[in-house]
Structure 1
Amino acid sequence: MSQAIEITDEDIKYAEDILLPQGKAFDDERRNFIRNLSTIDLQAVPGSGKTTALLAKLLILETKLPLSNGSGVLVLSHTNAAVDEIKKRIHQYCPKLFRYPNFIGTIQSFVNEFLAIPYYLFRLKKKPLRIDNEIYAEQIEFSLSYNTKIALSKRGINYIDILSNSFINNEGIFKHFWSNGEVNIPKIGSHTKTYKELATIKINLLKTGILSFYDCYALAQKYLSNYPIIHKIINKRFQYVFIDEMQDMDTHQYELIEKIFTENNDTNTIIQRIGDKNQSIYNSIKAESIWQDRDNVLHLSNSQRLSRPIANIVKNFALYPEHCTDIQGMNECQLKPHILLFTDSSIKNVIPHFSQLVQQYKGSGELNFRQDKPLEIKVISWNTDWKDNETSRSNPTKVRLEDYHQAFKKNDQKPKEDYKCLKSYILFL
């Protein structure tokens, strides 16, 4: 077992000097979390600086590396952007933390590197060619016969979702990629030509080495089930596990992490889960039903992002109000929250009116912003563009960002890694 690590006031001062503006210091709530190196959950309100507090802990752990038993530190977040932010802020101070035996990355990259790719290599004697949902979907479109596409589309069957989110067991039956339940393909019997065509495409893509992200979780599950020693190896590899933005985990990700580091933890690995259930964005069901709190839960209640007037309003609309009843808005801005009421016919006036309000309060000096940091004003939408689905489009209760601003195109805002043809690459450049 590794020697216990003690985090001192001098250690915290070192992290403060790197991460915080001159003259600023961590408050007692954050200092308690930074010092804590036991298995806990951290529930933090919006803008509380929970990631900064985690970075402080990582900066300090860097000074204690290597650990006495040769194990490492595992840091997981949900998106590449979040991982890039971690690297940007502390990489220059933490050369050891970004090398073996440590690992900092997304949950997907962890599953790929430590479970899915090793198992695929073991079974097929080669590495996967590509792991990418867009490439996977393109290959399905290319492989599926025209008549079958038309027939499935007429029946409202999303064959790409079916193939991406399922796996084939030894009997050739579609299974959900994580659970053992059979996938319900509506109106398609397993004896039909269509079903067999879908199954053939799925198996061929697997053999070719073109995998969806969900395929990797299926491979990971099979690896862990068939070779239980993998749990012990991974636990011995990582003494400390930190999961940022825990609320954005989906069920299969949560179950996999728990299976490795909690259910089969016989090496005293420390796991800390950090997030805010009220800020769940990515998972498809409520965070409460996925993320079950540990016995020991710490809280961060001061929000550097929210002003007092906004904090006093939003805590009454929280999905889980018990996690933000004590929220304190620390931002000095005293502007009151604005609610814009509009009709279907005036929806395109919402963003221009919002822009006018920003200019008005910026001009009057009531909208505070740091002189050393550009003022970023953004429009955020749960859904951006419409899919090719007339049923959804005709639903009067649904709107998209392009309804507010017709010129918005998702691909214009976020460049893709892969395009279908050379012309598309050239146009992008």
Structure 2
Amino acid sequence: MTEGDIEEAERVLGVSFDESRRSILQSNECFDVQACPGSGKTTLLVAKLYILVRKWSYARRGICVISHTNVARQEIERKLAGTGIGQRMLNYPHFVGTIHSFVNEYLALPLLRSEGYHVQIIDDETHADRCELLLNTRPEFATARNFLGVRERKLPSSDKTIRALRYEGPNLDLGSAAGKLPCGLDTRSGRILSRIKHEVVDTGIWRFDDMFAWAERLLTKYPRIIDWVRWRFPVVLLDEAQDTSELQASLLSMVFPAEACKLRQRFGDSNQAIYDTGQSEASTDKFPADGFRSITDSKRFGPEIARLAHPIAPEPASPEVCGNGPRTLDGAPDPASISHTIFLFSTETIHRVLPAFGELLLETFPDEVLRGDGFLARAIGRVGVSPQGENKIPRHLGDYWGGYEAHAAKFEPRLDELVA
């Protein structure tokens, strides 16, 4: 990669990269990038992808970009949709998507279908609802229903065994995402749970975790496929690496360990990890690995917030985080003159948080700034339902605003703005 390549990426993406970012773009070594909030790590990843695709000469081998969400893909679609390079990124032989879509497409579904199984939908909530329905309505399942009803009567719905049944490992052993099964599989209740799981998947309804078990099954039965996948994707870029669960990390380390890849770079921020997803934090191939590189300047907040945040960060950055943003809008007050605000609330008053935030914006910014094109305010980031338990508030956006429907966020088209 030359300076000219980077300058072309800067022009297309409308950004400017400093020396630390340029060194990451130019490097073909395997390492992790620990980037602070607002540092533009996904834009950096997209820039690297843009330069690589421009020079890519293979017809049947591609670049694999895996993320915890579709942020990287959406960034490409938003900034590069009108370019030929952008279209090439999103099509064969390259892959840009979530870890779930990668596992499904290249590992789990080919084996699952070859063994005669039907796939109608892969969705945890749909699977949980169907399992619970069978348990509660079938007379012959009364033994397990009574057993679980007594043992788990105080647990929130999301922590109940019946709603978390999944296959685990290459032998497709029955387990539960909620923890160890409360009964042996050779007991009457255990056999009922096995039967319920079997009946649900026979209708084509699966959990996301089931796909990881099928992927392990494929790699165990046909280990040479690992070599094929590595040949197929000699370059691997992982975004949001801090959110990788142990289940995901162990599978990725089987397929794409750093020592076996031509080029593997992981981007993320350990201080932004989602620790309450119901999955165990990754200990396999932990992020960031030794020898990682840091990006410590943020365009999301200024030096005041950086100074306050650094001492209380779970994993303090070294060197210290530097706040270089955000850009001050014309007519807006100087960020240094605005007092920081922390909202205190209870479960009973949580519905008042968003109105209070709105009132704070009205008090802080002039009307002409609020109405301007460059103004954007974000209040709450979690749009999906957290599986941490019904009694643990707050869990997601719906706890703050009762009119929000989390399941609607799964479907396109998505709105760029929401006015209520």
**Distance in 2 of aligned mates of 1:413 and 1:163:** 20
**Distance in 1 of aligned mates of 2:265 and 2:190:** 44
**Distance in 1 of aligned mates of 2:396 and 2:216:** 37
Residue matched to 2:61: 71
Residue matched to 2:174: 174
**Distance in 1 of aligned mates of 2:407 and 2:379:** 13
Residue matched to 2:270: 277
Mapped pair 1:300 → 2:295: yes
Structure 1 stretches of 4+ with a deviation exceeding 6 A read 287-290, 381-388, 401-404
| Residue type at the aligned position of 2:361 | V
SS at match of 1:316: helix
Match of 1:190 among 158, 175, 185: 185
Residue matched to 2:418: none
Residue matched to 1:92: 82
Q: Does the 8 Å CA contact 1:311/1:329 hold for their aligned counterparts?
A: no
Residue matched to 2:417: none
Residue matched to 1:212: 207
**Distance in 1 of aligned mates of 2:252 and 2:229:** 11
| Residue type at the aligned position of 2:251 | L
Aligned positions, number: 389
Q: 1:311 Cα shift?
A: 1.0
Q: Does the 8 Å CA contact 2:242/2:268 hold for their aligned counterparts?
A: yes
Residue matched to 1:379: 380
Mapped pair 1:110 → 2:110: no
Residue matched to 1:340: 343
Match of 1:122 among 114, 121, 130: 114
Q: 1:163 Cα shift?
A: 1.1
Residue matched to 1:355: 358
* 1:324-344 CA distance string (max 9 Å, x none): 624333325323422234567
Task: Point out where structure 2 has 5 or more consecutive residues left out of the alignment.
Answer: 154-159, 328-334, 413-420
**Distance in 2 of aligned mates of 1:360 and 1:373:** 18
Choose 345-354 or 41-50, whichever is displaced more: 345-354
SS at match of 2:288: coil
Task: Point out where structure 1 has 5 or more consecutive residues left out of the alignment.
Answer: 1-6, 178-182, 419-429
Q: Does the 8 Å CA contact 1:168/1:175 hold for their aligned counterparts?
A: no
User: How do 1:10-89 residues align onto structure 2 when only pairs under 5 Å count?
Assistant: 10-20=4-14, 25-67=16-58, 70-89=60-79
SS at match of 1:354: helix
Residue matched to 1:101: 93
Match of 1:258 among 253, 259, 263: 253
| Residue type at the aligned position of 1:329 | N
**Distance in 2 of aligned mates of 1:305 and 1:101:** 35
Residue matched to 1:426: none
**Distance in 1 of aligned mates of 2:79 and 2:133:** 42
TM-score (norm 2): 0.80
Change (3 A) 1:98 1:339: closer
Match of 2:122 among 120, 131, 139: 131
Q: 1:86 Cα shift?
A: 3.1
* 1:223-249 CA distance string (max 9 Å, x none): 111111011000000111000010011
**Distance in 1 of aligned mates of 2:263 and 2:258:** 13
**Distance in 1 of aligned mates of 2:348 and 2:120:** 49
Q: Does the 8 Å CA contact 1:164/1:212 hold for their aligned counterparts?
A: yes
Choose 126-135 or 35-44, whichever is displaced more: 126-135
Change (3 A) 1:31 1:222: same
**Distance in 1 of aligned mates of 2:385 and 2:341:** 22
* 1:43-97 CA distance string (max 9 Å, x none): 1000000111111111111210223x85210011111355333333224322322
Residue matched to 1:421: none
Identity across matched positions, percent: 30
Change (3 A) 1:209 1:343: closer
Choose 132-141 or 149-158, whichever is displaced more: 149-158
**Distance in 1 of aligned mates of 2:348 and 2:32:** 46
**Distance in 1 of aligned mates of 2:316 and 2:45:** 24
**Distance in 2 of aligned mates of 1:228 and 1:411:** 42
SS at match of 1:305: coil
| Residue type at the aligned position of 1:174 | L
Q: Does the 8 Å CA contact 2:169/2:216 hold for their aligned counterparts?
A: no
Mapped pair 1:159 → 2:153: no
Q: Does the 8 Å CA contact 1:384/1:410 hold for their aligned counterparts?
A: no
* 1:24-46 CA distance string (max 9 Å, x none): 52111111111112211111000
Q: Does the 8 Å CA contact 1:277/1:288 hold for their aligned counterparts?
A: no
